[in-house]
Structure 1
Amino acid sequence: MTTSTDRDQQIQKLRELIADIDSGMLTTVDDNGSLHSCPMSTNGQITSDGVLWFFIYGSSHKATEIEHNQQVNVSFVSPDRQRYISVSGTAQLVKDRNKMQEQWKPQLQTWFPKGLDEPDIALLKVTMDKADYWDGQSSFKPQTIS
């Protein structure tokens, strides 16, 4: 059984692993069961309780997929550092303006030209269930955080 302290340390390790990775590939499940992946800007952040936040258009196909099946995966790669991270979790759409202001970064303007004034802007909250990582600097044996 993983204790709270162990999980906190594991999440801290995960935070260190993705800190300098600016984007990940978000994989969702379509209605027909097929998998779809797309790049998402993360700014290398995961909260201390294992939550990843992404900005998304609320009426996008990706948002519709998540409404139908909340199981997602986010993968991160830093080949020059030989880091490979796979985060499985549950996603939900969040339209909390205060949370959006808290999460907003100026570099997101590239995808959302009107910033937080985009009429269809929303947040995607991914709560981590499990993460596997391979850190070539220490070992290529996968490590698991759950």
Structure 2
Amino acid sequence: MNRSTFMTKINQQHVWEMIEDINICMFITWDGSRQRARPMAHMPRQDEHAIYFFTDATAEKDGQIEEFPIVTLTFVDQSKNDYVSLTGTATLSNDRTKIEELWSPMMKSWWDGPEDANLRLIRLVPEDAEAWDGPHDVVSTIKMVAAAAGLGKPDMGDSGKVRM
């Protein structure tokens, strides 16, 4: 089938659903000479068209974001063969009301509480994404193995670029 006529379920809503199902993403910044990546827990809020992260006021990535606010997030769910790469603009915030709203007891591992003076927020506004929603069942896996053995082409699922 011609790629231009290929129908895909990858759209903005589907991308939001995919990232909501994946708990940790790689948060990639630019320091002026190299990219820097680190795993981070994210808090997507589709109704605000934003993805939030807690960060420490002393974190190196905060300075990188202030100087180079365009960042990339990558999400992987190997159990479903789902992958998302998302780019957007990040800003730092000390919005204590929002911090308290997003706070969860799991954050106690890093900060004393939502009132911790070093706790900050990163707010990322997604601009575009590229997503791959792979086949999720055993039959598809068998078909991929067969294709690797030269027995036809596998169903690789859906993929697409999306303006967020």
Q: TM-score scaled by structure 1?
A: 0.84
- Following the alignment from structure 2 to structure 1, what is the Cα–Cα distance between the partners of residues 158 and 12? 18
- Following the alignment from structure 1 to structure 2, what is the Cα–Cα distance between the partners of residues 46 and 97? 17
- Following the alignment from structure 1 to structure 2, what is the Cα–Cα distance between the partners of residues 10 and 106? 33
- Following the alignment from structure 2 to structure 1, what is the Cα–Cα distance between the partners of residues 48 and 54? 19
Segment of structure 1 superposing worse, 126-135 or 102-111: 102-111
Read off the aligned partner of 1:29 and give its amino acid letter: W
Secondary structure of the residue aligned to 2:101 is helix
* C-alpha contact 2:96 2:115 (8 A) present in aligned 1: no
Task: Using the TM superposition, give the Cα deviation of residue 27 of structure 1 relative to its aligned residue in structure 2, in angstroms.
Answer: 0.2
- Going from structure 1 to structure 2, the CA distance change for 1:58 and 1:90 (only over 3 Å counts) comes to same
Corresponding residue of 1:5: none
Among all aligned residue pairs of Structure 1 and Structure 2, give the percentage whose two residues are the same amino acid: 27
Corresponding residue of 2:59: 60
Who wins on radius of gyration, i.e. which is larger?
Answer: 2
Q: List runs of 5+ in structure 2 lacking aligned partners.
A: 1-9, 136-154
* Aligned-residue RMSD, C-alpha: 1.8
Q: How many residues align?
A: 135
Segment of structure 1 superposing worse, 88-97 or 13-22: 13-22
Q: List runs of 5+ in structure 1 lacking aligned partners.
A: 1-8
Alignment of 1:1-146 (within 5 A): 10-31=11-32, 33-43=33-43, 45-112=44-111, 114-137=112-135, 139-140=156-157, 142-146=159-163
Read off the aligned partner of 2:125 and give its amino acid letter: T
